[in-house]
Copies of this chain bind each other. A is one copy, B any other.
């Protein structure tokens, strides 16, 4: 427990956890840089992670410092000023009107600061384009050249996958056309079909991202996760921490989606599917390389950790060749098989990308996060927000209504309650809906949807809300925009 607290509240000093974690898991000899790991990206990601982590870490001390002053004259104005200076958050003075009979609700303030900080950082618009180019050229063009015109990623809602795009897979956001999160990564085949249709219509009508006659495919990636350190407890909660269940169920969904597109739009409309597993203790990945017929197996995969070790002490080009041959062996074809080369390239691309993250976790965390469990800072409900990436940042549940998503919502709240209740803090829940500004009235529709969703969360967890153990806010934003607009929620009715 002490280690867990230290991991999230101690000031971040590069390397400090290196030694600490080292005691538990001795660092393997030869922790030299891997020639294929992108050190520049890792350093930039590390700086960004520190800025994000630091912003959240500053909240509790700032409020702790304010608490004793709350009954002093002129407190409200000073508090507003102090939080603006320390947290870069703007609150109205009315939030700090304390009397001896009604002191400040510092738990609610903490949750407001967490949500405010999250929104501030989302709008801060971090440059996520670092990995837009690889040493082979522009990634978007590369991926297109290798046969894929759009990438759709569904990962588990679990907050340990909050950094899956930027940190773990290290794919540039520009290539990700759709990204959502569901408990257990259990997306719906109908939803995938709809996304495919949206891209397809754009290809036919506007030749975007490329013309429909080009023989490229839509790539649907499903990301499950497991824990190598504590497989039966820290795996995927939605699948009872059972790796085989998590990967098997997701593989079935992927196959169903491909089948749905084929059956609705004909055999030539086939989409590519790829199953990826993440070890949440090391951020290493398992890529379930499809065979020559496109079929995957939950037991057949390449482990990036193993490949990392196998290629660490050889030259870059030899390392790339080793990966290329490993992927070909896993596919069951020759390394120059033309029919499978696009997917093989992509699998190798993901494995190689992940080397940077393996190296980062090895150098900063001794190869294994000291805290393998959940320390998410908030729950995001509604539409996925992918702008801000960091492990254990947010438990994200994609849902239109609580009626449909109740089980996922409850899982998220149960997970965060475990962590927050121990520290006496309420669970911050941010309802987020995006809208397409090209559709008339869409902002007003999104606003009423966000409000309805927030009230449904409040109604479902009325007890927690009444006891101050769950704090809600709602925001809307344009799909591709940066600005978040708060949605006013009706005041809580106080029981007499």
Residues of A participating in the B interface, judged by any CB pair closer than 8 Å: 188-190, 193-194, 197-198, 200-201, 204-206, 212, 255-256, 259-260, 263-266, 269, 400-404, 436, 438-442, 445, 452, 456
Q: How far is the CA of A368 from the CA of B472 in the complex (A)?
A: 54
Q: Is the CB of B205 within 8 A of A265?
A: yes
Interface contacts beyond A204-B204, A400-B400, A400-B401: sample of 20 additional A-B pairs, CB < 8 Å, sorted by A: A188-B445, A189-B439, A190-B442, A193-B439, A194-B194, A197-B201, A200-B201, A200-B204, A201-B204, A204-B205, A205-B265, A205-B269, A206-B265, A256-B439, A256-B440, A256-B441, A259-B440, A264-B439, A401-B401, A403-B456
Contacts of A438 in B (CB 8 A): 260, 263-264
Q: Is the CB of A260 within 8 A of B439?
A: yes
| Chain B: CB-nearest residue to A255 | B440
Top 10 A-B pairs ranked by shortest CB distance? A263-B438, A256-B440, A401-B403, A204-B204, A260-B439, A403-B403, A401-B401, A259-B440, A264-B438, A201-B201
Contacts of A401 in B (CB 8 A): 400-401, 403-404
Within the complex, what minimum Cβ distance (angstroms) separates A208 from chain B? Answer: 11
Q: How far is the CA of A129 from the CA of B439 in the complex (A)?
A: 36
Within the complex, what minimum Cβ distance (angstroms) separates A13 from chain B? Answer: 47
Q: How far is the CA of A188 from the CA of B198 in the complex (A)?
A: 18
Contacts of A400 in B (CB 8 A): 400-401, 404
* A193-B439, A441-B189, A442-B190 given; A452·B404 CB < 8 A: yes
Within the complex, what minimum Cβ distance (angstroms) separates A58 from chain B? Answer: 37
Within the complex, what minimum Cβ distance (angstroms) separates A438 from chain B? Answer: 4
Q: Is the CB of A266 within 8 A of B200?
A: no
Q: Is the CB of A266 within 8 A of B206?
A: yes
Within the complex, what minimum Cβ distance (angstroms) separates A30 from chain B? Answer: 48
* A264-B439, A442-B190 given; A403·B204 CB < 8 A: no
Q: Which of A194, A404, A445 gathers the greatest number of chain B CB atoms within 10 Å?
A: A404
Q: How far is the CA of A200 from the CA of B438 in the complex (A)?
A: 19
Q: How far is the CA of A190 from the CA of B440 in the complex (A)?
A: 9
* A197-B198, A204-B204, A269-B205 given; A263·B439 CB < 8 A: yes
Q: Is the CB of B206 within 8 A of A212?
A: no
Q: Is the CB of A439 within 8 A of B190?
A: yes
Q: How far is the CA of A205 from the CA of B260 in the complex (A)?
A: 16
Q: How far is the CA of A300 from the CA of B43 in the complex (A)?
A: 67
Contacts of A442 in B (CB 8 A): 189-190
| Chain B: CB-nearest residue to A196 | B201
Partner of A189, one of B190, B256, B402, B440: B440
Within the complex, what minimum Cβ distance (angstroms) separates A282 from chain B? Answer: 33
Contacts of A201 in B (CB 8 A): 197, 200-201, 204, 265
